[in-house]
Structure 1
Amino acid sequence: MKEKLMKRITDQYIKSFNEFDVEGMLKNIHRDVVFKNIAGEEVTVELNGKIAFKNQIDQPVELFEKREMKIIEQKFGDDMVENHVDFKGVLAVDIPDGPKKHDLIRLQYTTIFKFKEGKIISIEDIN
């Protein structure tokens, strides 16, 4: 897949993420998508299929008042885009035994998008 197309698709996904546009995020997701959140060496979340992924991305819509994923660095490979990301979000709710409503959350992590048939087939968030 060409870099230009992969960049357009991932940029559209991130724009939709920042705007809480779940349908926009799903626009270029393959029906057999696999999503993983990886902390250190441990897979903390693994989802298979577009429906399971949609259910997961619906949840943070109510968790944050505002959120922004910003690409710091982007690398391209064969059918793959690696984004180093700066994330910040303002909580809309209190987290039990954690941050409170209106607190700013900041994270830096890597997101790897892999493609199949012109759609995102794999997303790995690596902390």
Structure 2
Amino acid sequence: MQANEHTRVIQKYIAAYNAFDVEGMLALLSPDVRFENWSGNQLTAEASGIDEFRQLAEQARAMFSEREQRITAVKESQAAVIVSIAYRGMLAVDIPDGPCAGTVLDLAGESEFAFDGGRISRIVDRS
């Protein structure tokens, strides 16, 4: 698979994410997908395998009334594709000891995508 094909798969994944389409996201993942979310140096969420990823994606979908990831830059290598992301989301629920429903989160970060057989096998989000 060519690197630009990887970028197209990532664009489809992000479009599904933005549309709250968990099934659309899952269709692009390998069965043994590995997901990690890092905030600073702290691992805040992780999933191994498509079933754990589905649970995490369903939980995240319920937390937001609006959300959008936008790719601002793409770096491709043989091992992975790293995309710079501008993120905006509005919380649908209160976060314990955190922001309340209606709070808008504006973040910038990077997401690293690795592939196996044309499907996304690893996602590491950093903000």
- Aligned positions of 1:11-90 closer than 5 A: 11-90=11-90
State the shift of 1:79 in Å: 4.5
In structure 1, what residue type is equivalent to 2:17? Answer: F
Moved beyond 4 Å, runs of 4+: none
The answer for the alignment partner of 1:126 in structure 2 is 126
State the shift of 1:57 in Å: 0.5
Q: Give the conservation status (yes or no) of the 8 Å contact 1:35–1:47.
A: yes
Q: Give the conservation status (yes or no) of the 8 Å contact 1:35–1:48.
A: yes
Which stretch shows the higher mean deviation, 43-52 or 60-69?
Answer: 43-52
State the shift of 1:93 in Å: 1.4
Structure 1 unaligned segments of length 5 or more: list them.
none
CA distance in 1, matches of 2:65, 2:40: 28
Task: Give the fraction of aligned pairs with identical amino acids, expressed as a percent.
Answer: 35
CA distance in 1, matches of 2:72, 2:96: 31
State the shift of 1:61 in Å: 1.2
CA distance in 2, matches of 1:113, 1:119: 10
The answer for the alignment partner of 1:116 in structure 2 is 116
CA distance in 2, matches of 1:45, 1:97: 17
Give the TM-score normalised by the residue count of structure 2: 0.93
CA distance in 1, matches of 2:77, 2:46: 23
Q: Give the conservation status (yes or no) of the 8 Å contact 1:79–1:116.
A: no
CA distance in 1, matches of 2:23, 2:101: 26
Listed one character per residue, the Cα deviations across residues 31-50 of structure 1 (whole Å, up to 9, x for unaligned) are 01111122334433332111
Which stretch shows the higher mean deviation, 95-104 or 24-33?
Answer: 95-104
In structure 1, what residue type is equivalent to 2:60? Answer: P
Listed one character per residue, the Cα deviations across residues 87-125 of structure 1 (whole Å, up to 9, x for unaligned) are 001111122232122111111111000001110000001
SS of equivalent to 1:59: helix
The structure-2 alpha-carbon separation of the partners of 1:111 and 1:93, relative to structure 1 and needing over 3 Å to count, comes to same
SS of equivalent to 2:53: helix
